[in-house]
Structure 1
Amino acid sequence: MSAQSEWGVAEPVRTLRDRYGDEIELTDEQDESIVHRILAEFRHGGNVYAVLQSKELAKEKEVAIFKVSASADGEPMLETIDDDDEWETVSELYDEMSFPGPDRP
């Protein structure tokens, strides 16, 4: 299945934006807080994903992609996507959304 046909089953959501606004502060491995802009959120295949970008990532024209889950108290939690196929699919969906047609990287 191509990213184009898979994108048809992705649904925009506002899980993080409704709770935090357009930016979210994450803590890195050195316990430093880094502000990330929320670029996109969508549901696909029963999961919610978020595409975030810090100023450092923006300089490199990169993004961070996370799976969004909920803690026991309903607080959104960001999870690393460990499965390569899942990460590739979500990345392609975001590319399709951001760069339609021949402009795609």
Structure 2
Amino acid sequence: MSDLSASNVKLSSKLLEAYGVLIELTDESGENVVYRLISEFETESGAYAVLQKDTALPDTEVEILKIVDGADGHPELITIDDDDEWEDVAELYDELTLPFED
């Protein structure tokens, strides 16, 4: 994956426009879970969404998923299988959201 930096990020609203701020996903056990869309953004390597369980406290861990275009043209969320890609995107999200440090 190429070097990602906050200066190369474009905010997106593809998921928000298609599904709204609450998105229901099916977890590994087959149960439906409602997530709140925290952020979505695009980089040169793809589009990503940051989600948090709707019932979670604000400082609870988030889920980072890749946004792809589905066969029907609607955006879909997929798991980021590549560990390096996931780590790069997680670091980028931290860079975008954490206060600037000198």
Same fold, judged at TM 0.5 (above): yes
Q: Which runs of 5+ in 2 are unaligned?
A: none
The answer to which structure has the higher helix fraction is: 1
| 8 Å Cα contact 1:43-1:49 kept in structure 2 | yes
Partner of 2:36: 37
C-alpha distance in structure 2 between counterparts of 1:41 and 1:55, whole Å: 16
TM-score, structure 2 normalization: 0.85
CA contact (8 A) 2:22 2:54 kept: no
Taking structure 1 as the reference length, the TM-score comes to: 0.83
Counterpart of 2:73 in structure 1 is 74
What residue in structure 1 maps to residue 53 of structure 2?
Answer: 54
Provide the identity percentage: 44
**In structure 2, distance between residues paired with 1:55 and 1:17:** 15
Aligned match of 1:10: 9
Residue pair 2:24, 2:34 contacting (<8 A) in 1 also: yes
